[in-house]
Amino acid sequence: MILAVHALAGGVAGTLTSSWPIAIVFSLASHFILDAVPHWHYPVHAEKEKMGGGLRELLLHVRKPKDLARYPIFRDMLSAGLDFFLGLALLSYLAQSFHPGDFWLIVGSGLVGILPDFLTLLYLLFPKNRYLAWFRKIHKKIHSRQRLDDRHLLGISSQAIIVLLIIWLLI
């Protein structure tokens, strides 16, 4: 799922309870449940091309801003960043409009819903970190093996339907 979907689903967890710990558990659960369903992704270049050296390699070799464009992880951070901000903006808007009293719980749960994928980004930046590598293994195990990446119409429309369902739960 794209980050925006994880953020919105995590936000739903914040509407189900007034307890932060329970919201966090529900939100993490929503991430892994959505990951287990076959789904579509926009291209994530760094995963395929393997930037072995992580952030260290980036910092050592990038002198001019133009050099950044050669690194797949930079492109990934642009697309994931856009996805993240759009999702967070929509969730904040819905929380403010429909649950102003639980605004921070909902937005916080939304951020927790993205956390597993954020840790994947950290892993790509710090591939030597043992804990990140361990978490990445578990994350991959839960993630559906069937990917709809080449089936754009089915992949995007099914995710759009899930978004509408989630928004319906949020309002």
Site of interaction with Zn ion (CB under 5 A): 35, 116-117
Tokens 């001019």 correspond to: 64
Taking the complex as a whole, the smallest distance from the CB of residue 35 to Zn ion amounts, in Å, to 4
> Three-state SS for 126?
coil
Rounded to whole angstroms, how far apart are CA atoms 125 and 115? 15
Taking the complex as a whole, the smallest distance from the CB of residue 143 to Zn ion amounts, in Å, to 5
Nearer to Zn ion, 35 or 47 (CB): 35
Taking the complex as a whole, the smallest distance from the CB of residue 139 to Zn ion amounts, in Å, to 6
Nearer to Zn ion, 70 or 137 (CB): 137
CA distances from 135 to 9, 94, 168 (A): 21, 31, 32
CA distances from 171 to 34, 47, 134, 167 (A): 20, 36, 37, 6
Taking the complex as a whole, the smallest distance from the CB of residue 32 to Zn ion amounts, in Å, to 7
Nearer to Zn ion, 102 or 114 (CB): 114
- Amino acid identity of residue 53, one-letter, is G
Nearer to Zn ion, 102 or 120 (CB): 120
